[in-house]
Chain A
């Protein structure tokens, strides 16, 4: 027997994408395997680890708990799309990074990098609503995502640093979008 396919059209990272998939196809699998956007990772497939978190509209959503057909017509942002946001800037190695991505690289906020895409999307959404979190609030903000490498210490720092970078980029004299990130990526320490 052949499974019935459904044409799903949604906007991913600003681009209209269409694919025909079975009704049971998870949004996470749809993004990864049908659209080959493999930046979104799958860590548990039961909605606990948060690695697969994407933004649906402005809200963080666990893409392993949503069917692709339920995302019909919606706007989805994956980790690949964070660098397209207005507050993203090019870094020294050429990638465009939003403040959260930039902060994670500055603060050693990742090790293996597997949980990172889910944290980046989660924190991006959080900082849109919370401009100046305290350390405790930053910890609370990431406490729905599992990371096995970092012990969360530098992720908390990254959230705080991301808020700073966001503020710097919001400031009237901030660099224009697209301008290269000022510091060299290699020989620079983490801000204390």
Chain B
């Protein structure tokens, strides 16, 4: 297993290299000149040229790439073209809110969707099943920002249970931290709850038809053991896959959710950077999320082996 882990990590290197190159080229070759944006509408061509020289944008494109890669390998993601601060610092400042939000969303998703899916499959065709399936259609079809505004309206404004927006770091106490995370995490997780509840239900329905479930019942085991020990573990692999991909897709959800709840996270940073053509920031965030995706995929693959002993690496 350790050997597999190391091989997979090594195999991630070419993936990341190709990705770095594509990100670099895509942004350089797209229309629009960052030097012009920085200089502003009133700048003279000389001013623009001097900014371009200062940023190294007048160098040949491959030189720019190698310089960029070299710096990156040393942990230097460059300096923001707009704010002139280190990209690394910008990202680390914004990382905590985003990671907290994503983790909370995943915890909500798993805790809510898996039991819902199991119960829906167990009582297939009953009102519980119909309810879960109907709610999941809502989860799919209503956009994240609408759900965001609805939960703010209900839980923050009408009932006053939770704050409307903003973020407090864990340093301000868990209560402050958690109370501001609940609504955005719930909003972000809505679509994943719908997706994974459906997936769990479908996967469980398959497994519940299996012979070993009949064996488990023939042994006299109670339904709880049959469902959670015998069926859910077997249904696990497809569910884990969806959770893994869901986590990767969460990036787009994070952008919207952070905007709705006014959370100063990576999502907001990326929007600002894209609008301002702040290349170093965009590149760093894309590479960071891609790296995260590769890593999560690896963890998911490894978790298959833990769930299912037939899978050995």
A binds B: no
> B-contacting residues of A (Cβ < 8 Å)?
none
Q: B residues within 8 Å of A by Cβ?
A: none
